[in-house]
Amino acid sequence: MAQNRPFVAILNDRIVGYADLQSSGYIDHFYCHWRQQGQGVGTSLMQFIIEDSQRRNIPLIYSDVSITAMPFFQRFDFEIVSEQTVSVRGQTLKNYKMARTPPQHQ
């Protein structure tokens, strides 16, 4: 995690979320504590990631997204690239490769 240099959301001296953006544009970690979901923590983290990608001239940001997180990513203009089947600790799960390209300036 230290090499990823995550963005950390802190509320009342407690970590309530974190996320990272790798130089390739890959969002490897995106977590919001369940008690803070729906309170703007995830939105703030995603807005920071999008702004950071623009500052760093990263043209495409993408992630492997669970079915439950898909609507959240779609709110930020991520689109499904492909459906995937992954194995995690012996369980087979479906997730989605999702990507967001920056809006084109006219």
Handedness of CA 44, 74, 67, 37 (dihedral sign): positive
* Span 36-71, pLDDT tens digits: 788 899 999 999 999 999 999 999 999 999 999 999
Contact 79, 99 (CB under 8 A): yes
CATH of the domain at 34: 3.40.630.30
Q: Which residues are within 8 A (CB) of 48 and not within 5 positions of it... i.e. 6 or more apart?
A: 7, 19
* Span 4-40, pLDDT tens digits: 678 899 989 999 999 999 999 999 999 998 887 888 9
Number of domains in the chain: 1
* Range(s) of the domain holding residue 63: 7-100
Structural domain contains residue 2: no
